[in-house]
Amino acid sequence: MQFVDVQSNGRGPSSSRSLQVTDTRRSASEDYARFTSVVLPHLDAAYNLAHWLTGNRTDAEDVVQDASLRAFRALHKFAGGNSRAWVLCIVRNTACSWLRKNRPTAVVTVEDLEAVEAAYAKPADQNGETPEAALIAKTDAEYLRTAIAALPTPFRETLVLRDIEGLDYREIAEATEVPIGTVMSRLARARGRLIATIGGKEAR
């Protein structure tokens, strides 16, 4: 009886399994390295956005954890470019899903706001400072926080991304997956509501 030496050419079953393990480890290492460079630098901004959208530290942490897992799984879809906008888009979508599940009455759909946006849309210098933004910046921080939290979600997220996180119009459009014109109209409407709220407080 003859025995075949499957180890002799280094291509037997044991060798194949070893190569598969090595490839898996290399792939996992590359994924982690990419996650570290693409996602981790934006975790603070991710948490801030999640906190503004959920209004709760614990809930925000849950959203960011879920969003981070989603980002890790979707790394193969990230083709480069603005990683911050990409990460915040995932956080925003994760937060919206969380709100729909846990607080459905808090979610205002885009359709509900289209007519309002059209009525209040007005041309503006993209990324330029406005008198409204300057006035908002001078408002008491705690009162401003409360006023922002009372905004409808699409307005609130746009205002937070622009005036707190400092994203430009194009980045916000990428993060919220809407046209730049819609970003501008939502921001104008959000600031208008805040000014009305602030003015109402000062009049009392």
> pLDDT tens digits, residue range 22-34?
555 656 678 788 8
Supply the pLDDT for residue 197: 83
Choose among 99, 114, 12, 8: nearest CA to 51: 99
**H helix intervals, the chain:** 13-38, 43-54, 57-73, 83-102, 110-120, 131-137, 141-149, 153-159, 169-176, 180-203
- Per-residue pLDDT tens digits for 63-120: 999 999 999 999 988 988 889 999 999 999 999 899 888 877 655 444 444 444 444 4
Q: Which CATH architecture has domain 16-106?
A: Orthogonal Bundle (1.10)
- CATH 1.10.1740.10 segments of the chain: 16-106
Residue 121, pLDDT above cutoff 60: no
Q: Tell me what the mean pLDDT of segment 159-178 comes to.
A: 91
Residue range 108-204, CATH number? 1.10.10.10
For residue 125, report the phi and psi dihedrals to the nearest 5 degrees.
-75, 115
Is the Cβ–Cβ distance between 198 and 139 less than 8 Å?
yes
Q: Where in the chain is the domain with CATH 1.10.10.10?
A: 108-204
Please provide residue 111's backbone torsions phi and psi, each rounded to the nearest 5 degrees.
Answer: -60, -35
Percentage above 90 pLDDT, the chain: 40
pLDDT for the residue 143: 77
User: What local confidence, expressed as pLDDT, does residue 71 receive?
Assistant: 94
Please state at what angle helix 57-73 crosses helix 83-102, rounded to 10 degrees: 120
**Rounded distance, CA 40 to CA 45, Å?**
10
